[in-house]
Amino acid sequence: MKVLKRTSSKDTSKLLFTSIIVLFTVSLFSSQIIAQNCNSELKVLKNRNARSVAENDGTQFTFQLINNATSAQTYTIRTEMSNKVFKVKGKVPKRLGPNQNLTRTVLKNRAQIQYITVPAGATVTFQVQVTVPPNTPVNHWGGIDVTATSDMCPNNNISTLLRLYVSDASAE
């Protein structure tokens, strides 16, 4: 005949405590992995995020997209006119109106792109080219948000604001 041994409350407490410690350790490790996979940076080369641009002459900004994560990531690059407030020499400048857009093109190796894959721990360079459409008001500022979104971290956008002064090409 087999005798069943009764577990004591002390044994049950040890088992419960061990289970809680294991669960806590696993969740902590998982959150660190997720955080590492979302660690990216978007920088304008030499911090030159303000430029002058005229109707007949565009300008180009060079960006560095840095993937500090432990695996390769593919990013979607978006550009859109910004309504963020910014100052020039301590004052809010005259801005382009909401229906006045600057033309934006994202380039890598002179080819137009929308997606960039960056290996783990690597940096990839790309450009945003900006041109001024005809009849755009001169002596006004425009803002452009450049945003990179990783396919692994869709809620973790990284962005940079570009500031452009639309100058009068006939006055130059």
pLDDT tens track for 104-132: 999 999 999 999 999 999 999 999 999 99
Q: How many distinct structural domains can be found in the chain?
A: 2
Give the model confidence (pLDDT) of 18-49 as tens digits. 666 655 554 544 444 444 478 999 999 999 99
CB 147 within 8 A of CB 78: yes
In terms of domains, do 24 and 50 share one? no
Per DSSP, what are the bridge partners of residue 170? none
Task: Kindly state whether residue 105 falls inside one of the protein's structural domains.
Answer: yes
Residue 83 placed within a domain: yes
**The pTM is what?**
0.77
**What pLDDT, in 10s, does the model give residues 56-108?**
889 999 999 999 999 999 999 999 999 999 999 999 999 998 888 999 999 99
**Domain, as residue range, for 22:** 8-37
In a domain, 165, yes or no: yes
Distance CA 150, CA 72 (A): 10
